[in-house]
Amino acid sequence: MKKRAAHYSNMLARRAQMAADKWAAQYWHDNPFGDAPKASRETYMRLWEEARRVSYPEIDAVEKDYGFAVDPAWLDDLALHTQIVVKESTLCYQHGRVLYAVLRSYIRDMKLENMSVIETGTARGFSTTVMARAMKDGGCSGKIVTFDLLPHDRKMLWNCIDDHDGAKTRRELLAPWNDLVDSYAMFLETDSRTGLRRLATGRVNFAFLDGAHTFRDVMDEFVVVAKRQQKGDVIVFDDYNTTDFPGLVQAVDEGCVQLGYSKTVIRSVGSRAYVIAKRER
């Protein structure tokens, strides 16, 4: 009787997951950012100019401490096409500088020639491309497996300046950087909790977790990745902000203690911050 009940419960859970996946696929495939550009080309350029002129002393210090800094002109160009969007919150793409500095330092310190990277929350591919650049510059091969419900090969508008050239796939949006993307990135269209558990990989050297920001989602991702990490491996978290994402902050704080990670908080603008979590045991 108990086995039958468990089987029935598992069957219902699978059906519920299939229904959720079907709904998500329909939503994220149906122009989730709208079917017309959200602003003029000039507006996107103005937002870009404003964002790239802001100074960030704490991020400067991170680059100095870790000994690496991404080419700012290269980063700004990538951000124009993948980070400059119309939204209410302040535009800031300094996590790109953090990811590059920390990943380059990790490659150097661990003396790696090949590595495995996990990312949740691909969006337009900004962070993926930055990490690919860090791996290439560090002379390290490997793969960045990145999860998002947004499709990689479906034409849509992305709420970015490229929308004025017509609908594009993410692959087309990232075409100027395809030497990096094609060599290092693997884009998986799936929920991160499901995808991470199904992913057949061994050690995860480095991870950037920027998917859903609820306590449950962040903790689930943290636990799954932690099981595949060893001492010295790193996870970077975005949007460490008690005002907007208290669940994320709680998950990061509790996860670091329970799973054996040190925690370094880096501020960028306003209440936005990032966390560098390093496996200590």
pLDDT at 156 over 60: yes
Mean pLDDT value of segment 153-162 = 97
Domains of the chain, by residue range, sit at 1-30, 35-279
> Do 269 and 90 meet the contact criterion of CB atoms below 8 Å apart?
yes
Between CA 123 and CA 273 the distance in angstroms is: 19
Closest CA to 196 of 214, 221, 173, 215: 221
What pLDDT is attached to residue 153?
96
pLDDT at 188 over 70: yes
CATH topology of domain 35-279: Rossmann fold (3.40.50)
What pLDDT is attached to residue 13?
47
pLDDT band with cut points at 50, 70 and 90 for residue 272: confident
pLDDT tens for 212-267 read 999 999 999 999 999 999 999 999 999 999 999 999 999 999 999 999 999 999 99
What pLDDT is attached to residue 5?
55
Two tokens, residue 144: 């960045």
155's CB contacts (< 8 A; 6+ apart) are 167, 168, 169, 172
